């Protein structure tokens, strides 16, 4: 815990989140300073931060609905100002649920809830699902993804029971497309979109795995990049290009500490800062 | 003189018995009279409640302790702390010049609660075991869950399925929310568990040796005043009598027993975990010595008396200071209820305010959970007495030793008579057809449904995940190549035929599994699940099982440390596993093995990797199909010739596999267990990416070999390894040096078929895609989406 968050990435620890430590670790691995921000710390401290991450977990026990209670927390007022100033905000998994419940995402009408993260719809199983999936980088609108190229296929793990982006309003989907807001989509290891399970692991609309606001500084994503920030974290039997890299690291422990497929989300902040 | 005593002195046995049963106590009349002797008068209701808990089998190990200490080796050069506290500790890597990284491991059962309330029962199983590791000052980095359920196709099939699903949901709900990854587990379905499932849980943690916290009042309390702080969930009557419930047969319909199941709360636990870490870090920064212990069986009375006594102190408690849930609770309930998510700290008086501020203000426990918080509930005293006050009255007052001394029995044992016969093999049967039945049977088929329901990724340390290899592997220390591997095992089909072998083979298989990922087996824990120990034949099963475990630990030993045993650092005994019909479960000792990997980058999945690789079998398949999946599925019998543990062979084979990892040869490695050699090969082929095939010529085993089906389905514990081509001579030399047998099984080809031949004769051919389909869907009917949700009862 720190007295100042100036120049640092603040990882907000709502009661019940459980990915704060590894998120801090991943941000630091990308070359930035990062600290945990306990939810009831003075809100003005948050204003000084370089960027804010809402990590995964079960904030406030998922009471009522995942993310709802945290979305109403007093710190969110400060975070709203922060985001509207164009500063970087990333919500991962439960953090994504908070951003959706707070109306930051899709952010077409600020703080209006236009989307939901609904229970997974999967053939042959129900509830919580944890696995590695592939997502495709779309467009070049999102600040958190400026180190990825359009069409990059990124293997990342997911772990959630409610990760299905959904809306009843077709206009919302059209607007999100128009603004290039659907920046991560579930795909096969070669980048093909397939709406069926397990390629689309939760039935998400448009295969959406990550959605940013129209300005591109706020990103809500269900997969966990902090769990894919080192090569050793990638399963050696994964399909696609990363398998070759991962298998090359077998019996070479020094290579295991190399960058994993998810680190670039955090490293993108450096590029953002340095132009 | 305390008030409100239960009169025992001078009363006839019949009256004492009646009053014990009125209060719902399990202790016997003789034990109650022993209490009178110890206390020196009739006990108070609170005192008798404490003894009823402390002398339950669950808490006292009264039937088992002598056998455990007779057979189990608990000392080795890597052991920091053996059995005795909440968890065992070994060191596994240096941490700077004067410190070591330590692994903390604990193992428990939560069988009866899971049978009556599967979701809550299993969840509290996880909740309880992680507390045992946290309270040593460690961070919990994983859990494992060996599970045994009833036969899904048997008479109680629907109920067994509902229990299995509930248990898995409970484990997932707790572990996922707490943020602790699942590192492995196993599931066996068998009719022997129809009335009494087994839910064993293991938790593992990391701590530097210098930061270990003891479950005792520190010696500093001799000089400065110490206070006892209770922190966590408000005390209620949930789980009242839980330890006693675990210590009797599951006779009733369970309704009344549900109150004895505790109510889990992983959310509160997560916040407590973060706050505890802050408290322990601050104590370390300030150089303050604290005692820390979780509340489990016996609640407040148990934790405070044990902490005080272990430090050589006494304690004085005031129940009026305990934070209570809404409701009216008697002093006995407050003293002994097993309300979850609570810890007790012993801290110096001048550190109390810091501690209370962290819990109550920084982490706002009272705000985020109604009634939760940290409160001073008593004092440590230099005098060795133990006193509880409530509303101005003394409700318990005894020397502290009287409470913690315990009780022990010499149970009678009687050799069980078991008659098992070998089936006559039917030459008309087709191996090709029979294997399709084996690969899709619930005990063999993929548990992917279950693994994917657990978070295996949280904390970011996973290297090998459940289902990818024989053991889960994590990279525990950031930036270090040291790995830790974990496996849990216990095949009940062997113990049924010979309980000694059941124990010995469980250790062998667990050790084999960690070796298969290149780890040196470094410690084990045991969870010993048996029926009612008051029956001499059951007690014999237990005795034999422990004897087998002890022999295996000494026989396999610590590889690389000549003459040292594989130490048992922690464990649990679960008796009274028998249901309403009175039939006991098969003897089920479950072993968890932790291994240390020198370089985790050498740990590989079981799946075949490369075309052109050579596939070898290390060790010879013997005529040991007793208890095998093959005999049971195809001949509907157990058979008699179960595998016979041969510790020298086992040790040599384990050492060979570890050597091969060290040389960087291993591309894939899998041990032979249920389903035999052919099942192991199929599993290695099923997950291969890209697809690879293999032709095995059984003539390789020589002319005097067993029948083909015995070679393929024998469960002798060997290893299959995939190695690079062209190093055959070196491989042979290594195996000769280690005195292990080696058979070349073939070369991997890109054609995805598994063929078995005997010279020119084709015995069987399978499409790997077809095997994959059967394997992946074999448990669909149990765990897959169900149209209609079945309730537990």
Helix (H) or strand (E) holding B758: strand B753-758
State the pLDDT confidence band at B263, using cuts at 50, 70 and 90. Answer: confident
Size of interface A-B (CB pairs under 8 A): 124
Residue B670: C-alpha distances to residues B98, B183, B262, B545 (Å): 38, 17, 39, 26
Would you list the DSSP string of B170-187?
HHHHHHHHHT--EEEEEE
The Cα B189–Cα B172 span in angstroms is 19
User: Mutate which of A16, A19, A247 to disrupt the B interface (most B C-beta within 10 Å)?
Assistant: A16
State the pLDDT confidence band at A140, using cuts at 50, 70 and 90. Answer: confident
For residue A198, is the peptide bond before it cis, meaning its omega torsion is within 30 degrees of 0?
yes
> Which strands form B719-723's sheet, in the order they lie side by side?
B668-671, B719-723, B614-618, B742-747
The residues, ordered by sequence, that sit 6+ positions from B683 with a Cβ below 8 Å of its Cβ are: B606, B670, B775
B203 versus A64: the higher-pLDDT residue is B203
Treating both helix axes as pointing N-terminal to C-terminal, what angle do B266-286 and B157-178 enclose, rounded to 10 degrees? 40
Is A239 within 8 Å of A38 (Cβ atoms)?
no
Q: The dihedral of CA A162, A164, A167, A173: what is its sign?
A: positive
Q: The dihedral of CA B455, B457, B463, B468: what is its sign?
A: positive
Q: Is A226 a catalytic residue?
A: yes
* Catalytic one of A19, A20, A93, A160: A93
Residue B597 confidence (pLDDT) above 60 = yes
List the single residue in B452, B457, B780 with the smallest CB-CB distance to A227: B457
Closest-CA residue of chain A to B464:
A235
Give the mean model confidence (pLDDT) for residues B431-437: 97
Torsion (CA) B149, B155, B159, B163 in degrees, nearest 10: 0
Q: Supply A195's token pair.
A: 């709406």
DSSP class of residue A145 equals G
Residue B27: left (phi > 0), alpha (psi -120 to 50), or beta?
Answer: beta
Gap from A71 CA to chain B (nearest CA, Å): 15
Question: Residue B575, CB half-sphere, CA atoms under 13 Å: how many?
Answer: 26
The Cα B37–Cα B19 span in angstroms is 18
Q: Is A259 a catalytic residue?
A: no
Extended beta strands in B290-416, E state: 291-294, 314-318, 342-348, 373-381, 385-390, 393-399
ipTM over 0.90: yes
Chain A contacts of B600, Cβ < 8 Å?
A: 232, 253, 256
Partner A, chain B 477-536, Cβ-Cβ below 8 Å: 478-479, 481
What pLDDT is recorded for position B791? 44
Give the mean model confidence (pLDDT) for residues A142-148: 96
Do the domains B604-793 and B72-404 match in fold? yes
Residue B726 confidence (pLDDT) above 50 = yes
Residue A8 confidence (pLDDT) above 50 = yes
**Number of structural domains found in chain A:** 1
Task: Give yes or no for A104 touching B (CB within 8 A).
Answer: no
The residues, ordered by sequence, that sit 6+ positions from B130 with a Cβ below 8 Å of its Cβ are: B140, B143, B178, B180, B203, B269
Q: Supply B766's token pair.
A: 């399978």
What pLDDT is recorded for position B4? 75
Q: Supply B56's token pair.
A: 């339950």
Chain A contacts of B459, Cβ < 8 Å?
A: 21-22
State the pLDDT confidence band at A200, using cuts at 50, 70 and 90. Answer: very high
Q: Do B457 and A257 touch (CB under 8 A)?
A: no
Gap from B105 CA to chain A (nearest CA, Å): 21
Strands A208-212 and A218-221, sheet pairing: antiparallel
Would you list the DSSP string of B345-358?
EEEEGGGHHHHHHI
Whose tokens are 């604290």? That residue is B290
DSSP class of residue A141 equals -
State the pLDDT confidence band at A171, using cuts at 50, 70 and 90. Answer: very high
DSSP class of residue B424 equals P
CATH class for the domain made up of B72-404? alpha beta
The Cα A250–Cα B517 span in angstroms is 12
The Cα A3–Cα A37 span in angstroms is 10
Is A67 within 8 Å of A101 (Cβ atoms)?
yes
Extended beta strands in chain A, E state: 9-13, 34-38, 51-54, 89-92, 116-119, 129-137, 153-160, 162-166, 182-187, 208-212, 218-221
Is A39 within 8 Å of A6 (Cβ atoms)?
no
Q: Do A256 and B457 touch (CB under 8 A)?
A: no
- Would you give the end-to-end CA distance of chain A in angstroms? 29
Domain ranges of chain B: 72-404, 604-793
Residue A64 confidence (pLDDT) above 90 = no
Whose tokens are 């008051």? That residue is B534
Give the per-residue SS3 of B572-600. Answer: EEECCCECCCCCECCCEEEEEEEEEECCH
Q: Supply B290's token pair.
A: 């604290």
What pLDDT is recorded for position B200? 97
Whose tokens are 């419940």? That residue is A101
Residue A112: C-alpha distances to residues A98, A108, A234, B133 (Å): 13, 8, 37, 44
What pLDDT is recorded for position B244? 67
Angle among Cα B331, B126, B254 to the nearest 5 degrees reads 60
User: Mutate which of A21, A28, A61 to disrupt the B interface (most B C-beta within 10 Å)?
Assistant: A61
Is B594 within 8 Å of B514 (Cβ atoms)?
yes
Is B111 within 8 Å of B246 (Cβ atoms)?
yes
Angle among Cα B702, B703, B704 to the nearest 5 degrees reads 100
Residue B1 confidence (pLDDT) above 70 = no
Is B604 within 8 Å of B535 (Cβ atoms)?
no
Buried b (16+ CB within 10 A) or exposed e, A69-95: bbbebebbebbbebbbeebbbbbbbbb
What pLDDT is recorded for position B782? 94
Please give the share of chain B, as a percent, with pLDDT higher than 70: 96
- Fold (topology level) of B604-793: Phosphoribosyl-aminoimidazole Synthetase; Chain A, domain 2 (3.90.650)
Give the mean model confidence (pLDDT) for residues B753-779: 96
- Give me the residues paired with residue A164 across strands: A118
Residue A271 confidence (pLDDT) above 90 = no
Q: Supply B606's token pair.
A: 């079981």
Q: What is the mean pLDDT of chain B?
A: 93
Helix (H) or strand (E) holding A47: helix A43-47
Give the mean model confidence (pLDDT) for residues A97-108: 96
State the pLDDT confidence band at B792, using cuts at 50, 70 and 90. Answer: very low
Whose tokens are 């980095």? That residue is B141
Give the mean model confidence (pLDDT) for residues B126-145: 96
Is B745 within 8 Å of B685 (Cβ atoms)?
no
Residue B579 confidence (pLDDT) above 90 = no
Q: In CATH, what number is assigned to the domain containing residue A164?
A: 3.40.50.880
Is B384 within 8 Å of B313 (Cβ atoms)?
yes
State the pLDDT confidence band at B327, using cuts at 50, 70 and 90. Answer: confident
Q: Assess if residue A64 is contained within a domain.
A: yes
Residue B789 confidence (pLDDT) above 50 = no
Whose tokens are 């691995």? That residue is A29
Give the mean model confidence (pLDDT) for residues B433-462: 96
Residue A274 confidence (pLDDT) above 90 = no
Q: The dihedral of CA B298, B300, B306, B307: what is its sign?
A: positive
Is B177 within 8 Å of B138 (Cβ atoms)?
no
Could you give the 3-state DSSP secondary structure of residue A203? coil
State the pLDDT confidence band at B582, using cuts at 50, 70 and 90. Answer: confident
List the single residue in A57, A60, A236 with the smallest CB-CB distance to B604: A236
Is A22 within 8 Å of A226 (Cβ atoms)?
yes
What pLDDT is recorded for position B790? 42
Task: Give yes or no for A65 touching B (CB within 8 A).
Answer: no
Task: Give yes or no for A190 touching B (CB within 8 A).
Answer: no
Which structural domain, as residue segments, surrounds residue A131?
Answer: 9-229+261-274
Closest-CA residue of chain B to A238:
B689
Give the mean model confidence (pLDDT) for residues A20-49: 96
Q: Assess if residue A80 is contained within a domain.
A: yes
Task: Give yes or no for A169 touching B (CB within 8 A).
Answer: no
Could you give the 3-state DSSP secondary structure of residue A118? strand
What pLDDT is recorded for position B793? 36
Could you give the 3-state DSSP secondary structure of residue B637? coil
The Cα B181–Cα A130 span in angstroms is 11
The Cα B240–Cα B262 span in angstroms is 8
For residue B690, is the peptide bond before it cis, meaning its omega torsion is within 30 degrees of 0?
yes
Could you give the 3-state DSSP secondary structure of residue A89? strand
DSSP class of residue A26 equals H
Strands B519-529 and B568-574, sheet pairing: parallel
Residue length, chain B?
A: 793
DSSP class of residue B361 equals I
């Amino acid at each position: 815990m720190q007295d100042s968050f100036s120049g640092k990435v603040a990882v907000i620890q709502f009661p019940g989140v459980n990915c704060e430590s590894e998120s801090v670790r991943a941000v630091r691995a990308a070359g930035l300073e990062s600290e945990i921000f306990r939810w009831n710390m003075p809100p003005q401290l948050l204003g000084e931060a370089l960027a804010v991450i809402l990590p995964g977990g079960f904030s406030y026990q998922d009471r009522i609905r995942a993310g709802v209670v945290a979305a109403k927390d007093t710190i969110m007022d400060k975070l709203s100002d922060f985001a509207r100033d164009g500063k970087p905000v990333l919500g991962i998994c439960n953090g994504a649920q908070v951003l959706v419940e707070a109306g930051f995402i899709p952010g077409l009408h600020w703080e209006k809830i236009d989307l939901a993260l609904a229970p997974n719809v999967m053939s042959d199983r129900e509830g919580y699902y944890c696995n590695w999936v592939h997502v495709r980088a779309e467009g070049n609108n999102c600040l958190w993804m400026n180190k990825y190229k359009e069409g990059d296929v990124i293997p990342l793990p997911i772990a959630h029971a409610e990760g299905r982006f959904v809306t009843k309003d077709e206009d919302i989907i059209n607007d999100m497309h128009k603004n290039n807001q659907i920046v991560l989509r579930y795909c096969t290891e070669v980048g093909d979109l397939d709406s069926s399970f397990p390629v689309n692991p939760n039935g998400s609309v448009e295969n959406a795995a990550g959605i940013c606001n129209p300005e591109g500084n706020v990103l809500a994503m269900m997969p966990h990049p902090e769990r894919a920030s080192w090569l050793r974290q990638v399963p050696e039997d994964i399909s696609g290009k990363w398998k070759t890299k991962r298998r090359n690291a077998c019996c070479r422990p020094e290579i295991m500490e190399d960058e994993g497929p998810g680190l670039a989300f955090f490293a993108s902040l450096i590029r953002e800062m340095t132009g | 003189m305390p008030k409100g005593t239960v009169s025992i002195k001078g009363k006839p046995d019949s009256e004492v018995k009646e009053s014990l049963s009125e209060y719902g106590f399990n202790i016997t009349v003789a034990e109650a009279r022993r209490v009178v002797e110890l206390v020196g008068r009739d006990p108070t209701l609170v005192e008798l409640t404490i003894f009823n808990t402390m002398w339950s089998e669950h808490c006292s190990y009264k039937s088992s302790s002598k056998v455990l200490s007779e057979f189990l080796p608990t000392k080795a050069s890597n052991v920091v702390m053996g059995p005795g506290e909440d968890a065992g500790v070994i060191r596994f890597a240096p941490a700077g010049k004067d410190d070591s990284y330590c692994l903390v491991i604990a193992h428990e059962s939560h069988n009866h609660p899971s049978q009556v309330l599967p979701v809550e029962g299993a969840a509290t199983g996880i909740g309880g075991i992680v507390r045992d590791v946290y309270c040593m000052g460690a961070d919990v980095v994983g859990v494992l869950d060996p599970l045994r359920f009833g036969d899904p196709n048997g008479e109680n099939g629907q109920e067994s399925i509902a229990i299995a699903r509930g248990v898995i949901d409970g484990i997932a709900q707790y572990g996922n929310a707490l943020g602790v990854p699942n590192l492995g587990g196993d599931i066996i379905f068998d009719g022997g568990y129809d009335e009494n499932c087994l839910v064993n849980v293991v938790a593992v943690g990391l701590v530097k040796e210098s930061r270990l916290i003891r479950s005792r009042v520190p010696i500093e309390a001799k000089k400065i005043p110490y206070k006892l702080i209770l922190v966590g969930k408000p005390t209620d009557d949930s789980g009242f009598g839980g330890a006693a419930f675990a210590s009797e047969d599951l006779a009733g319909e369970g309704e009344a027993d549900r109150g004895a199941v505790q109510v889990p709360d992983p959310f509160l636990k997560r916040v407590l975990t973060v706050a505890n870490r802050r408290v322990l870090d601050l104590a370390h920064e300030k150089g303050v010595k604290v005692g820390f212990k979780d509340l489990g069986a016996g609640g407040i009375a148990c934790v405070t008396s044990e902490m005080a006594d272990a430090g050589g102190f006494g304690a004085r408690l005031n129940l009026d200071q305990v934070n209570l849930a809404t409701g009216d609770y008697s002093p006995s309930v407050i003293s002994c209820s097993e309300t979850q998510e609570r810890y007790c700290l012993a801290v110096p008086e001048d550190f109390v305010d810091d501690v209370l501020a962290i819990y109550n203000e920084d982490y706002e426990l009272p705000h985020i959970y109604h009634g939760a918080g940290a409160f001073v509930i008593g004092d440590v005293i230099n005098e060795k007495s133990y006193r509880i006050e409530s509303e101005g009255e003394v409700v318990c007052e005894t020397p502290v030793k009287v409470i913690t001394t315990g009780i022990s029995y010499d149970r009678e044992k009687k050799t069980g008579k078991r008659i098992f016969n070998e089936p006559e093999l039917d030459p008309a049967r087709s191996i090709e057809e029979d294997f399709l039945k084996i690969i899709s049977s619930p005990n063999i088929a993929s548990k992917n449904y279950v693994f994917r329901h657990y978070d295996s990724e949280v904390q970011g340390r996973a290297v090998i995940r459940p289902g990818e290899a024989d053991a889960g592997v994590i990279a525990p220390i950031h930036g270090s190549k040291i790995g830790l591997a974990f496996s849990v095992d216990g095949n009940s089909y062997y113990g049924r035929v010979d309980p000694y072998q059941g124990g010995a083979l469980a250790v062998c298989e667990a050790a084999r599994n960690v070796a298969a990922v290149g780890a040196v087996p470094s410690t084990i824990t045991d969870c010993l699940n048996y029926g009612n120990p008051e029956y001499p034949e059951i007690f014999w099963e237990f005795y034999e099982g422990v004897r087998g475990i002890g022999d295996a630990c000494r026989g396999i030993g610590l590889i690389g440390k000549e003459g040292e045993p594989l130490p048992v650092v922690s464990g649990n005994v679960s008796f009274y596993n028998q249901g309403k019909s009175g039939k006991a479960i098969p003897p089920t000792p479950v072993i968890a093995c932790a291994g240390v990997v020198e370089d985790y980058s050498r740990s590989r999945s079981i799946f075949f990797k490369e075309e052109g690789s050579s596939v070898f079998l290390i060790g010879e398949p013997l005529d040991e199909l007793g208890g095998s999946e093959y005999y049971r599925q195809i001949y509907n019998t157990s058979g008699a010739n179960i595998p016979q543990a041969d510790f020298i062979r086992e040790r040599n084979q384990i050492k060979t596999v570890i050597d091969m990892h060290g040389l960087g040869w291993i591309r894939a490695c899998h041990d032979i267990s249920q389903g035999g050699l052919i099942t192991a090969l199929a599993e290695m082929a099923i997950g291969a990416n890209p697809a690879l095939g293999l032709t095995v010529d059984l003539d390789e085993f020589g002319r005097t070999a067993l029948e083909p089906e015995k070679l393929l389905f024998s469960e002798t514990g060997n290893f299959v390894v995939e190695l690079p081509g062209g190093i055959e001579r070196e491989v042979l030399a290594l195996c000769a040096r280690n005195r292990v047998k080696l058979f070349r099984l073939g070369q991997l080809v890109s054609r995805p078929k598994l063929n078995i031949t005997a010279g020119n004769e084709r015995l069987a051919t399978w499409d790997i895609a077809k095997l994959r389909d059967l394997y992946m869907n074999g448990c669909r009917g149990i765990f897959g989406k169900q149209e209609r949700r079945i309730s537990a009862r």
